């Protein structure tokens, strides 16, 4: 699913529940492709800030990340928009 081999994660807040999503995503990706690099997670700090979600996702895309998982509530809408605009995978 990733052409660059680098995947990213945008979370709403740095809390245990959201970190469980990140850890599961990373573990599954590495199980499917041991060569994949799972970038450190980034956090919006809010579940209702799509503009910041888009900004953080854009910064990840600029680092070469081409597959992004968002667990950020409404902030994730910004993540999806940034991914769409850049033509990268997001879910």
The pTM of the full predicted model, rounded to 2 decimals, is 0.93
In a domain, 16, yes or no: yes
Is the predicted pLDDT of residue 2 greater than 90, yes or no?
no
Average pLDDT rounded to a whole number, residues 7-33: 97
In the chain, the number of structural domains is 1
Residue 65 lies in domain: 6-72
- The alpha helices in the chain, defined as continuous H runs, are 16-32, 50-62, 75-86
The number of beta carbons lying within 10 Å of the beta carbon of residue 31 is: 9
Q: Tens of pLDDT along 41-77?
A: 999 999 999 999 999 999 999 999 999 999 999 999 9
CATH number assigned to the domain comprising residue 21: 3.40.50.2300
Q: What are phi and psi of 58, to 5 degrees?
A: -60, -40
- Kindly tell me if the per-residue pLDDT of 1 is higher than 80: no
Q: Do residues 8 and 67 lie in contact, with contact meaning Cβ atoms separated by under 8 Å?
A: yes
- What are residue 19's phi and psi, to 5 degrees? -65, -30
């Amino acid at each position: 699913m990733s052409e660059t081999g680098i995947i990213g994660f945008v979370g709403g807040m740095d809390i245990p529940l959201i970190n469980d999503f990140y850890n599961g995503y990373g573990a599954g990706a590495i199980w499917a492709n041991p060569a994949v690099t799972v970038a450190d997670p980034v956090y919006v700090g809010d579940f209702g800030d799509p503009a910041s979600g888009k900004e953080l996702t854009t910064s990840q895309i600029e680092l070469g990340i081409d597959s992004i998982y968002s667990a950020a509530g409404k902030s994730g809408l910004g993540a999806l928009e940034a991914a769409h605009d850049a033509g990268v995978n997001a879910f």
